[in-house]
Structure 1
Amino acid sequence: MKRRNFLKSAGATALAAPALLSATSSSRGNAPENETRLEITWLGGATMLIAFGGLTLLTDPAFGDGKEAFRMGDPNEMFDLSKGPNVVFHERLTPFPGVDLGRVDYVVLSHMHEDHFDQKAEQSIPKDMPFFVPAHDTARLSAKGFTNVRQADWGRSFVLNKGEVEISLKAIPADHSEDPEIARLLGPGNGYWLTFRNGNWTKTVYWTGDTFPTPRVLDAVRPLGTPDIFIPHMGGVGTTGALGQISMSAHHVADFVEALKPRKVLPLHHSTFALYLEPVAGLPAALEDKTHGLDLVSEGTCLGYS
C-alpha cells in the first residue's frame, strides 16, 4: 500500500468550501512601533499563522469543524495492516478560530495526512497559492490542481524576502514512528528550521512536524544550534491502534528539550481533535525543572516574540 494512501480518505467529501474563512480576534500584545516582532497564532492541530515583517506563513491547514471535520483512516483502531484502517470522519473538539487567507503569502506542509491538510482547506485555498511541500507529496498536491508547489527536500533551504525582512526555511527529516517499518509505511514527512531576520535581529524556530526524536532527526537538527522557539507535535496518536504510537507523548518532547535546550517551547497537535489521545496537561510534569519558557495556549491565541 502506497504511503499517504494508508491513512488518506477514499475521496473528496461534500464539505463547505468558502474562498475566505472569516478571521476572529486573537490575543495580541501592544508592541511598540518599529519593534521587530515574530507573531505565531495557533489555530488548532498543527495549523499556525506565522507573521513577520509583512510576510505570513500558514502551516498544515486544517479548517474543518464539528463532528465531521475531516475524513481519514483511524490510526487509533486495531486493523489488518495489509488492508489499512477504516476511513472515517474525525471530530474537532474546539471551534476553528478562522483565518483570512488574503493575509497568507505561503503555505508550509509537514505532510499531507488529512489532519494536516484537510478537505475543507483543499477546497478553500487558492490553487495558485505558493506551497512548500515534502518531496513525496509534491506530485499528489499538484494532481489536486495546485500550481505553485515547491519541493522541500530534506536539507534544502529556501529564502523569502520582503524589504529588509528575511525568512529562511530548511527542511528537516521527520520520522512518523519509532518503528522503522511503520515509519516507512506512513512515509517521510518534514519538520522545518525557520530563521527570521531583520537587520541584526534574528529568531530561530524548530517546528518538528509529526516526528519522534530519532537519531536521524537529532543528527539533522543539532548542528543548527539552540532554537529560540521549539514547536513539537504531541497527542500520542496511535497508542491504541495497529500502527502503534505515531505522534509524540510528553516524555518524547522532554527528550527533545533535553537534547536541544530551546529557550521557548510551544506544543501543538494536541486537544483539537478527538484523534489526539494524550492531553497536553502531562507536559509540565514531563519537563520537570525545565518548564521555564513553556507556552501553553488555547486555539486562537497569538504569541509575540520580540
Structure 2
Amino acid sequence: MKLQLFRNATLKLDYAGRIVLIDPYFAPKHSLESFTGRSLNPMVELPVDIEDILDGVELVIVSHLHDDHFDSVAMERVPKHLPLFCQPGDEATIREAGFADVTPLAGRATWEGLTLTRREGSHGLGAVVELMGSVMGFSLEAAGEPSLYWAGDTVLYPPVAEVIRETKPDIIVTHSCGARWDGDLIVMDAEQTIAVCEASQNTIVIATHMEALDHATVSRLDLRKAAQARGIAPSRLLIPHDGETVVLGKS
C-alpha cells in the first residue's frame, strides 16, 4: 500500500492495484475565510499540481461536505464520471454538482476487490456536534493489503475506540491537529492521538490534517515531542509532510 498526503485530509491511496482519492481539498492558499482570525485558509499551497493529484484516480471517497474536505474547486476539477462514495445524506448535493456515480456508504460495500465499511465519527462532543454536523470514517480491506481504518474528522470517543479494539487494523489514519471551534475540540489532539497509539500496540498510526487550517492548535513538531515524551516510537506514529508518500505492507 502507498499512501500520499497532499494537504489537510487529502490522501491518495494505491491499494490492491486501485487508486483512491480521499477528501479532495484543492483551494488555493488564502482563498477561503479564516476560522479564528489568525489566517485565511488554507494556510499552505498544495505541494503538487491538481492534475498530478488526479492522475490515475479510479475512486473518490468524501467523508463529509465541509469545505476543507470537498471544496468548490474539487467539485469542479474531480472528473464527474468517477465512482464516489459518501456518507448518507450528502449524495443529493454531490449529484447536483454533476457527479453521475454516487453511492452513500450506509454499511459495507465492495468495489473492484476493495471492501469499505462505514465507521461512526463525532466531530467534537456536546453542543458543537450539532453545529459541525455528521461525519464518517471508514475501514478499507483487500486481499494481500494491510487493513486500514481512516478515522476521519472525529475526536477519540467510545465508538472509535471500539473499532480499534474489535477490528485491530494494521494502519489507523487520524486527524490530529487539535482543531477547535469556539473552544471545543473537534478532531483529535496530541493526547488523543497518543491514546490511539497506546490502544493499538501492533498498529501503525498515521497522523494527518495538520498545519493547513487556522483553527488547528497542534503542529507536527508538537505531536512528535508529545509522542516521544510518552515513549511512542517514530516507527509507530508517522507524521507525513504535505506531498510525502508512505509505503506499508501487511503486518
Is the 2:205–2:238 Cα contact (8 Å) retained in structure 1?
yes
Q: Deviations over 1:248-298 (max 9, x none)?
A: 111011122222335212110001333433212122343311224222222
- 1:46 paired with 2:3, answer no
The gaps in structure 2 that reach 5 residues or longer are: none
Q: Write the mapping of 1:4-83 to structure 2, written as runs, cut at 5 A.
A: 38-68=1-31, 71=32, 74=35, 76=36
Deviation at 1:89, TM superposition (A): 5.2
The gaps in structure 1 that reach 5 residues or longer are: 1-37, 78-87
- 1:196 paired with 2:142, answer yes
Deviation at 1:159, TM superposition (A): 1.7
Is the 1:127–1:145 Cα contact (8 Å) retained in structure 2?
yes
Shift in CA distance, 228/107, structure 1 to aligned 2, threshold 3 Å: same
Paired with 2:82 and 2:33, the residues of 1 have a C-alpha distance of 24
Structure 2 letter corresponding to 1:251: E
Of the structure 1 ranges 255-264 and 110-119, higher mean CA displacement relative to structure 2 is found in: 255-264
TM-score scaled by length of structure 1 = 0.73
Q: Write the mapping of 1:29-178 to structure 2, written as runs, cut at 5 A.
A: 38-68=1-31, 71=32, 74=35, 76=36, 90-98=41-49, 99-153=52-106, 156-161=107-112, 166-178=113-125
Q: Aligned pair count? A: 243
Structure with higher Rg: it is: 1
Q: Deviations over 1:49-69 (max 9, x none)?
A: 10124310000001122221x
Aligned partner of residue 43 in structure 2, secondary structure: coil
**Match among 107, 129, 134 for residue 183 of structure 1:** 129
- 1:208 paired with 2:151, answer yes
Is the 1:62–1:121 Cα contact (8 Å) retained in structure 2?
yes
Deviation at 1:217, TM superposition (A): 2.6
Structure 2 letter corresponding to 1:203: P
Q: Deviations over 1:51-96 (max 9, x none)?
A: 124310000001122221xx3672x36xxxxxxxxxx952332443
Structure 2 letter corresponding to 1:174: G
Paired with 1:118 and 1:91, the residues of 2 have a C-alpha distance of 11
Is the 1:48–1:58 Cα contact (8 Å) retained in structure 2?
yes
Structure 1 letter corresponding to 2:179: V
Aligned partner of residue 251 in structure 1, secondary structure: helix
Of the structure 1 ranges 130-139 and 255-264, higher mean CA displacement relative to structure 2 is found in: 255-264
- 1:305 paired with 2:244, answer no
